[in-house]
Amino acid sequence: MTSLPTFNPSLNERHNANAIRILAMDAVQKANSGHPGAPMGMADIAEVVWREFLNHNPKNAKWANRDRFVLSNGHGSMLLYALLHLSGYDLTIDDIKNFRQLHAKTAGHPEHGYADGIETTTGPLGQGIANAVGFALAEKTLAGQFNKPDNAIIDHYTYCFLGDGCLMEGVSHEACSLAGTLGLGKLIAYYDDNGISIDGEVEGWFSDDTAKRFESYNWQVLRVDGHDADAIREATLQAKAETNKPTLIICKTVIGLGSPNKQGKEDSHGAPLGNDEIALTRTELGWANNNPFEIADEIYQAWNACDKGNKLESDWNAQFADYQAKYPSEADELQRRLSGELPSDFDAKADEFIKACQAKGDTIATRKASQNAIGAFAPLLPEVLGGSADLAGSNLTLWSGAKGVQDHADGNYVHYGVREFGMTAIANGVALHGGFIPYTATFLMFMEYARNAVRMSALMKQRVINVYTHDSIGLGEDGPTHQPVEQIASLRQTPNHFTWRPCDTVETAVAWKVALQTANAPSSLILSRQNLAHQDRTDEQVALIEKGAYVLAKEQGDLQAIIIATGSEVDLAMQAHKVLSEQGVGVRVVSMPCAEIFVKQDRDYIESVLPSDVRARVAVEAGITDYWYKFVGLDGKVIGMTTFGESAPAKDLFNHFGITTDKVVEAVKSLV
């Protein structure tokens, strides 16, 4: 039997950590699925961090000033579930036994919203540490906006566990580089340096000098034996003492620690240990109880954080009462923002701006209309924390009141640099933290770099607003590398995500208003580089924009055909409407800035816009055509893109690809 590596926690510390190992291997074995190795290897680190340093309250998982904990190597989810269970959260031993089963709180990877204490959904490696950067950014910025010299009402840490896989993923480079640049001193990351991935020993494919890498990012880097409680404790204290840099603590660990035949090997990474090996492991760990899932009362008592957490929150509540007495308006604003509620007058003021846009009737690019909307809405919503992956001068996300967080403690704008994936994953962390509504920005084509983080926003039901400009072949000469074709359809197919492609200043303002009000889903605003004509509307039509689609131009006489369009192609549809109406064809134009919202409307409204007995339908959009057959049917026609673009002026491209008024007219007449 292989002996355990030398490590020096006290008998109690070791026994407390072993409770994590027991629960992890038992749950994975019962499910016959999962990853026991990481929880077993990181148990000693977790025991020190959670029992000695983490400020949290199991009886109120949403306490505003709690420390945040992120398990970036989310495949080791049983580590988090064991910690929550042992600490006193509403996660029972039956929940542990139900690991990886249908509708369980204990899903295969930590899922935000499934159980108290799960701060973010992790599993796609690297995004957890990026979320942690977002948590730390939100804490620092919220503190800058609300703390007073005599009362630091926002004051907490973000602790993150991560593994080799997280560090191999490029998103960790993007996020951690920015974290060092911004000096996020309350971010402490523990790297599980066990040298093993599913394929085996990582030295064959991961030979980076991680310490030098993070030192170059402006991080403090410390090294410890990940099974030495004293060393972990001392390193954490050193990390907390460094206030100007985030800290990476490189913890040398043994994966699957305690398993005589599988520790230190890939065999313990992603599969159950097996009943025989579990029995040997219990003996090796000195665990007297051979019954699965049984933890002694004294261990539960040692882990239980409820009394400590209640006192921490009670002390903070007293601190907040003092803050409220001295700074009542700030206290009210902080409470409003942390609740996620918008100001009571926002809706009315937003409608005033939208009405002004309709009256003014500007012919401008929707990217410029978006900047105008930000300039109107952001002063009403100090929780808006914007940013762009470079390109701010092109996607027009900077506004007159923008202040960079790198220069202003109370800033409201992040210069993300060319880091689309990192930016979006960080924004997810900001949204999860609370107190902010983040927006991100890049060209629509480069949404592809951020795609998985956009998906995570939707999966976690987070209010993140993505500004994507240069939305079609209309961007022109930069050519097919920069011209999006299939991206809008991809976004529309994402569950719990709303894709807006407005046609002018009014629809753009409405898109911003609704996106800001949509609390449980992300929104993407797809905006043009080129100027788009203003469309005349009645007040009733303006009000209907929020329904996702509406009749912009009515038919003259009997309704024979319908043209559906979005964005820059709405004006083509309007021009075609004029031509066809003059020729006696009864055609209506439906502007559909957000198809996902439209299909959620009641049947009567959908029928009023798209009568089912009118089969002659044409959709026009400068993107991939396939998506639109759900609205026009197999008998209808779609004018759009079926190939990649070309490099040329926008006007020439629209003519070349047949996205013109004449083609719309021709398509309608062929169906009538």
Binding region for thiamine diphosphate: 75, 123-125, 165, 194, 269, 446
Q: How far is CA 350 from CA 36, 201, 342, 501, in A?
A: 52, 57, 12, 19
Q: Are 569 and 622 in contact (CB under 8 A)?
A: yes
For residue 444, the tally of other CB atoms under 10 A from its CB is 29
Active site (annotated) includes residue 666? no
Cα 474 from Cα 531, distance rounded (Å): 10
Residues flagged as binding site for substrate: 35, 269, 367, 394, 470, 478, 482, 529
Calculate the CA 84 to chain-centre distance: 23
User: By the 8 A CB rule, do 130 and 171 touch?
Assistant: yes
Nearest to 564 by CA among 509, 515, 606, 508: 606
H or E, element range at 31: helix 11-31
Measured from the Cβ of residue 339, the count of other Cβ atoms closer than 10 Å reads 11
Nearest to 625, CA basis, from 666, 671, 565, 562 = 565
Q: In what order do the strands lie in the sheet with 550-553?
A: 550-553, 587-591, 561-565, 617-624, 637-641
Annotated binding site for Mg(2+): 164, 194, 196
- Kind and range of the H or E element at 190? strand 187-193
Count the Cβ atoms, other than its own, within 10 Å of residue 232: 26
From the annotation, which residues make up the binding site? Answer: 35, 75, 123-125, 164-165, 194, 196, 269, 367, 394, 446, 470, 478, 482, 529
Alpha helices in 88-226 (DSSP H): 93-97, 127-146, 164-168, 170-181, 210-216
Candidates 13, 47, 313, 420; catalytic one: 420
C-alpha–C-alpha distance, residues 617 and 633, integer Å: 8
Element (H, E) at 624: strand 617-624
Length of the chain: 672
Burial class (CB within 10 angstroms; exposed 0-12, middle 13-18, buried 19+) of 119: buried
Alpha-carbon distance of 331 to 283, in angstroms, equals 55
- The side-by-side arrangement of strands in the sheet containing 220-225 is 68-71, 158-163, 187-193, 247-252, 220-225
**Nearest CA among 102, 53, 105, 55 for reference residue 80:** 105
Nearest-10 crossing angle of helices 127-146, 328-339: 160
Helix (H) or strand (E) segment spanning residue 614: none
- Find tokens 């230190």 and name the residue: 264
Chain centroid to CA 543: how far? 30
In sequence order, what are the residues at sequence separation of 6 or more whose Cβ sits closer than 8 angstroms to the Cβ of residue 3? none
Torsion angle of C-alpha atoms 651, 654, 656, 659, degrees rounded to 10: -150
The Cα–Cα gap between 562 and 628 comes to 13
DSSP state letters, 231-284: HHHHHHHHHHH--SS-EEEEEE--TTTT-TTTTTSGGGTSS---HHHHHHHHHH
How far are the Cα atoms of 1, 474, 481, 524, 585 from residue 443, in angstroms, in the given order? 58, 13, 11, 12, 39
Question: How many CB atoms sit inside 10 A of residue 347's CB?
Answer: 12
Q: What DSSP string describes 370-412? A: HHHHHHHHGGG-TTEEEEESS-HHHHT---TT--BTTT-TT--
- Give residue for tokens 């269970």: 85
Q: Which residues are catalytic?
A: 420
